[in-house]
Structure 1
Amino acid sequence: MLKFIDLFAGIGGFRIAFENLGCQCVFSSEWNKFSQTTYEANFNHKPEGDITLIPTSEIPDHDILTAGFPCQPFSIAGVTKHNALGIRHGFEHPTQGTLFFEIVKIIKEKRPKAFILENVKNLQSHDKGKTFEVIKNVLSQDLNYHIHYQIFDARSLVPQNRKRIFIVGFDKAINFNFPELPDFKPRIRDILESEVDSKYTLTDHLWNYLQKYAEKHKEKGNGFGYGLVDLDGIARTLSARYYKDGAEILIPQVGQNPRRLTPRECARLMGFPETFIIPVSDNQAYRQFGNAVVPPVVEAIGKEIIKSLDNPVQVLVKPPLIINQLELSLVF
């Protein structure tokens, strides 16, 4: 049985996916106390706290590392020059002091067979592309992992636009292909509860405010405004700010103001199972699901990772071209 660890675990989206694939979670870490509560309610295990305070030596050996890590800018002073000369720079230089650095430390010491990392699709353009460049360099050059990355939109599995980038790495050059996600043609109406408390219906004050706000920005040529969904279509991306007013995903109602999604509907919108326990307040639940990964997407990718680990077909990789300073001076 393959063992995995669940970093920046949130409410356990990665864990659901990999346990569905027959893997065993041997460690998890999540600093938010409300997310810890939800995680413990569902897995009978409270995650460890702040990963920056946990010595790497105390983390169990594992085959797969999973993490939905926060996006932070890195210092890249000197990195471009070193790369041009073919000189491998120390991994601590560009990522020191970031939460990504904690992942790097664990990979460096534990050397898992594979890892899967998730982030918003804009990671590639974050800080004018510098952040993603550092991430690729650190994972492939400094840690010597063979990486693959791709943006997935969960809209074929759940009824919302949700694009996220996934980075997969292996400690050996083995054959791996990202999956083609099936299209289940999901619809918003399929995730709605039959009976919903009136507290989720927008007040006249809030509904009037949202309409005026949208009209004001429409006149300015901006696209800001509420998202009244087509029940036979899909929704906008559920975000952690949904608890504020629910404006991005509003459900139309006959003869009354639209309403927010309920926490259970948010769980369905994210692909969480019906058995998933929601022990926290509505506001906390909205934050948690808005920050979560979509378990069915992770499971589809995880299935291909496990397939590659079970049948490790070696791929021939050409060694990098190293140009020393003498050769460089001759070129120019």
Structure 2
Amino acid sequence: MINQDTFRFIDLFAGIGGLRIGFEKAGGKCVFTSEWNRFSQQTYQANFNDNHEIAGDITAINEADIPNHDVLLAGFPCQPFSIAGVSKKKSLGRAHGFADETQGTLFFDVVRILRHHQPKAFLLENVKNLLSHDKGNTFRVIMHALDELGYEVDHKVIDAGLWVPQHRERIFIVGFRRDHPTQFSLDDVRLPEGERPKLSDILHPEDGSEPIEEPYTTGPMAKVSPKYTLTPRLWQYLQDYKAKHRAAGNGFGYGLCEPTDVARTLSARYYKDGSEILIAQSNGIPRRLTPRECARIMGFDMPNAKDQWKIVVSDTQAYRQFGNAVAAPVATAIANAMAPWIKNTVSIRPIRSVVA
């Protein structure tokens, strides 16, 4: 099915393609994509040249109609397992986790596709809280299902903050089919060396050294558009909200950042008020990140990149997409660690026996 130059993979619950970026850089070719959100589909299509259409609802797709592949990628929906998602569903009296029929069982679509195609390997991504959801029972169900399919599985929580200036912990689950033995470990993923990135690495410089990109920047110095500065009313609300919770002994509230800081996790709710990552300004009222800065803080591109990530949707949709995405440099690092085993370019190392 493969040679030493390339391998075939499928991209499920693809979002805007964060996982795909990494596996294409590692030599893979995407042969099937599934993503139900039409706005994410627009962004995905604008940034990838495909000879296949994006499939919608994976539950409506027969696994036999999916092309053969070597690797399955899936950032399966995390809402039923995330802390925020669980809290919201509990407050509404709704089920969560695998009891949530709308999203919690989507993991089993991954299972049925793995069972049918038996690809050489897979990579799954989810929120860190997946480990502790339902006192660990959810994760045990997932690991048991993957084990029964005949895969040797490893998992690890990795913080994208090693690559990009935000604290973003996600769990990655890798499996290789047992009849394709490897010595792969997520501990083999190569981590960046040197100083950790800071927000100054991704913020608009606003000094004329960056081309103007409307509607994000404007004027001769490419200053950030005033539209991203909070209204005085919203800024006052956020300050009052934080003060109220501080008085109650809680840590809730906005995150105000300087260029030398590392941000909190960018979330899909960022479009609402931007409160988790606010950039301090000299006038005393902070601003949101622009969507271009969100692309950078997720590692989809960097300042003055030759080929910038195409943002073809509204700010609201762009914030949602980047907040839900997989940080591209993390996917690339994992793909680079997996690729030699997928391509058969490395061999099992003999285990040396220790002689007393």
Above 0.5 in TM-score?
Answer: yes
Query: How many equivalent residue pairs?
Result: 295
Please give the alpha-carbon distance, in whole angstroms, between the structure 2 residues aligned to 1:223 and 1:191.
27
Specify every segment of 5 or more residues in structure 2 that has no aligned partner in the other structure, as ranges: 1-5, 81-96, 207-222, 352-356
2:142 corresponds to which of 135, 138, 147 = 135
Please give the alpha-carbon distance, in whole angstroms, between the structure 2 residues aligned to 1:111 and 1:314.
25
- CA shift, 1:125, in A, is 0.4
* 1:282-301 mapped onto 2 (5 Å cutoff): 282-301=315-334
Please give the alpha-carbon distance, in whole angstroms, between the structure 1 residues aligned to 2:56 and 2:249.
45
Counterpart of 1:181, as a letter, is L
1:171 corresponds to which of 158, 167, 177 = 177
Residue 182 of structure 1 corresponds to which residue in structure 2? 192
Secondary structure (helix, strand or coil) at the match of 2:55 reads coil
- CA shift, 1:262, in A, is 0.1
Residue 242 of structure 2 corresponds to which residue in structure 1? 214
Please give the alpha-carbon distance, in whole angstroms, between the structure 2 residues aligned to 1:50 and 1:116.
20
- CA shift, 1:312, in A, is 4.5
Secondary structure (helix, strand or coil) at the match of 2:286 reads strand
* 1:140-159 mapped onto 2 (5 Å cutoff): 140=147, 142-159=148-165
- Per-residue CA distance 1:169-206 (angstroms, 9 max, x = gap): 00023101221411452010111112210000001000
- Per-residue CA distance 1:117-150 (angstroms, 9 max, x = gap): 000011000111110000000001x201000000
- Per-residue CA distance 1:265-294 (angstroms, 9 max, x = gap): 000000002421000000000000000001
Counterpart of 2:9, as a letter, is F
Is 1:74–2:98 an aligned residue pair? Answer: yes
- CA shift, 1:97, in A, is 7.6
Please give the alpha-carbon distance, in whole angstroms, between the structure 2 residues aligned to 1:312 and 1:281.
48
Secondary structure (helix, strand or coil) at the match of 1:134 reads helix
8 Å CA contact 1:174–1:314 kept in 2: the answer is no
Please give the alpha-carbon distance, in whole angstroms, between the structure 1 residues aligned to 2:24 and 2:150.
28
- Per-residue CA distance 1:18-49 (angstroms, 9 max, x = gap): 11111100000000000001001111344210
1:38 to 1:201, Cα distance in 2 relative to 1, 3 A? same
Counterpart of 1:55, as a letter, is N
Please give the alpha-carbon distance, in whole angstroms, between the structure 2 residues aligned to 1:74 and 1:255.
48
1:97 to 1:165, Cα distance in 2 relative to 1, 3 A? closer
1:271 corresponds to which of 299, 312, 318 = 299
Residue 348 of structure 2 corresponds to which residue in structure 1? 313
RMSD of aligned alpha carbons:
1.7
- CA shift, 1:313, in A, is 1.8
Comparing 291-300 with 271-280, greater Cα deviation is found at 271-280
Please give the alpha-carbon distance, in whole angstroms, between the structure 2 residues aligned to 1:36 and 1:292.
13
How high is the sequence identity, in percent, across the aligned residues?
A: 57
1:42 corresponds to which of 31, 44, 47 = 47
Secondary structure (helix, strand or coil) at the match of 1:265 reads helix
Secondary structure (helix, strand or coil) at the match of 1:161 reads coil
Residue 229 of structure 1 corresponds to which residue in structure 2? 257
1:270 to 1:97, Cα distance in 2 relative to 1, 3 A? closer
- CA shift, 1:241, in A, is 0.4
1:210 to 1:315, Cα distance in 2 relative to 1, 3 A? farther
Counterpart of 2:173, as a letter, is I
Is 1:191–2:192 an aligned residue pair? Answer: no
TM-score (structure 2 length as normaliser): 0.80
Residue 323 of structure 1 corresponds to which residue in structure 2? none
8 Å CA contact 1:160–1:237 kept in 2: the answer is yes
8 Å CA contact 1:175–1:315 kept in 2: the answer is no
Please give the alpha-carbon distance, in whole angstroms, between the structure 2 residues aligned to 1:254 and 1:5.
47
Residue 54 of structure 1 corresponds to which residue in structure 2? 61
Please give the alpha-carbon distance, in whole angstroms, between the structure 2 residues aligned to 1:111 and 1:300.
24
Secondary structure (helix, strand or coil) at the match of 1:5 reads strand
Secondary structure (helix, strand or coil) at the match of 2:54 reads coil
- Runs (4 or more) in structure 1 with deviation over 6 Å come to none
Residue 120 of structure 2 corresponds to which residue in structure 1? 113
Comparing 262-271 with 15-24, greater Cα deviation is found at 15-24
Specify every segment of 5 or more residues in structure 1 that has no aligned partner in the other structure, as ranges: 76-95, 317-332
Please give the alpha-carbon distance, in whole angstroms, between the structure 2 residues aligned to 1:65 and 1:200.
38
- CA shift, 1:256, in A, is 3.8
